[in-house]
Amino acid sequence: MLMIFSKLLAALSASGQTGTAKSESVSVAEESTEAKEKMTLEYAQNVLQKQPISEAHSMTTSEAKQKHREWCLSQVGYHENPDGSNKYGEGDWDEKLYGFDIKNAPWCDGFADYSYIAVFGYDAATRMTYQSPTGYAACKLSAEAYKKNGAFFSTPELDDQIFFYSGGDINHTGIVVDIVGDTITCVEGNYSNGVYLTKYNTRNQWIIAGYGRPNWDVVSDGGCSGDACDLDIFPKFKVEDWGEIAKRMPKIEDGSIGNAVIALQAMLNFLGADLEVDGECGPLTLKEIREFKEGKL
């Protein structure tokens, strides 16, 4: 394995400029095409040298929010069927997060939590909303989670989780999807037994308790999820430090995203894997990680 890394480092050092088409890396992965070799080298060097990554492989906060907002708007018009139930409790994410099934329970907070899970995956979503490893189906407790992490505000931003007073306490929630002056538009689950668009004037709406702001760094701007956040040191590494990067590879998990995964996928390809360098750790990337650890690359 050390010999493989020596060849890899020699190939990178000999390449010179980013994107060099032919290098000693061909001897490391003979099946690599010239285009693939150029792509992987370019991505690896871009990550390690803090150079810009192609927009196709990174997501800005604005783009992440837009994806989330589009999903929320796509749910408007859904209605309980039968009454007293909801489709957002399907699967086992709720039992994993809350410890019980929400299919037949009040579901406004469950809808809000699931909106992030549906778009960004369970691990990233629970970290975004400060509910890892334990989550809360109660609006008051979800609001408290934001407060404890300094992420609860009196003025809104797009895709904030809005919390409402009801019956003298925080008992309802939704997602902010539009802001025009003092008027905000929200998507609210379990509003009249369905998902509806609602509007509020922020100046005189005493029912608004505040706004929970997710941690968008988890899923945007080359961010990461899960234990891979510990790997957000890749840009600081020099090419000569790829051996240290390899030692940290086991911390990347299913669903991890960002520059760390891009660099990992590029490195694995140099060692003979055949991965799409997309910055998302899925089944194929996990398979190549296992093979690397078993000495099969």
Residue 95 pLDDT > 70, yes or no? Answer: yes
287 or 276, higher pLDDT: 287
119 or 224, higher pLDDT: 119
SS (H, E, C) the chain: CHHHHHHHHHHHHHHCCCCCCCCCHHHHCCCCCHHHHHHHHHHHHHHHCCCCCCHHHCCCHHHHHHHHHHHHHHCCCCECCCCCCCHHHCCCHHHHHCCCCCCCCCCHHHHHHHHHHHHHCHHHHHHHCCCCCCCCCCHHHHHHHHHHCCCEECCCCCCCEEEEEECCEEEEEEEEEEEECCEEEEEEEEECCEEEEEEEECCCCCCEEEEECCCHHHCCCCCCCHHHHHHCCHHHCCHHHHHHHHHHHHHCCCCCECHHHHHHHHHHHHCCCCCCCCCECCHHHHHHHHHHHCCCC
Average pLDDT over residues 57-83: 87
Average pLDDT over residues 161-187: 95
Residue 110 pLDDT > 80, yes or no? Answer: yes
Instruction: Of 243, 250, 236, give the one whose Cα is nearest residue 271.
Output: 243
Q: Give the mean pLDDT of the chain.
A: 75
**Residue 182's pLDDT band (cuts 50, 70, 90):** very high
For 85: left if phi > 0, alpha if psi spans -120 to 50, otherwise beta; the answer is beta
Answer for the pair 40, 31: CB distance below 8 angstroms, yes or no. no
CA angle 143, 146, 147 (to 5 degrees): 85
Average pLDDT over residues 27-37: 43
Bridge partner residues of 110 (DSSP):
none
Residue 196 CA from chain centroid, whole number: 26
| pLDDT attached to residue 51 | 36
Cα gap 288→273, rounded to integer Å: 7
| Least reliable range by pLDDT among 15-29, 201-215, 223-237 | 15-29
Residue 106 pLDDT > 90, yes or no? Answer: yes
| pLDDT attached to residue 132 | 85
CATH of 61-218 given 3.90.1720.10, 3.30.1330.40, 3.90.870.20, 2.60.40.10: 3.90.1720.10
Q: Give the CA distances from residue 236 to residues 2, 47, 71, 140, in Å, rounded to whole numbers and listed in that order.
A: 22, 9, 35, 40
CB hemisphere CA count around 166 (13 angstroms): 10
Is residue 22 packed enough to be buried (19+ CB in 10 Å), middle (13-18) or exposed (0-12)? exposed
| pLDDT attached to residue 243 | 55
**Residue 290's pLDDT band (cuts 50, 70, 90):** confident
User: pTM for the whole thing?
Assistant: 0.59
Q: First CA to last CA across the chain, in angstroms?
A: 9
Q: What percent of the chain is predicted at pLDDT more than 90?
A: 43
| Least reliable range by pLDDT among 27-41, 67-81, 86-100, 168-182 | 27-41
| Domain limits, CATH 3.90.1720.10, in the chain | 61-218
| pLDDT attached to residue 199 | 95
Cα gap 125→66, rounded to integer Å: 15
Radius of gyration of the chain (CA): 23
pLDDT digits (tens, 9 = 90+) for 227-286: 333 333 333 344 445 555 555 444 567 777 766 677 777 777 766 778 877 778 888 888
Instruction: Of 166, 177, 208, give the one whose Cα is nearest residue 72.
Output: 177
Answer for the pair 43, 264: CB distance below 8 angstroms, yes or no. no
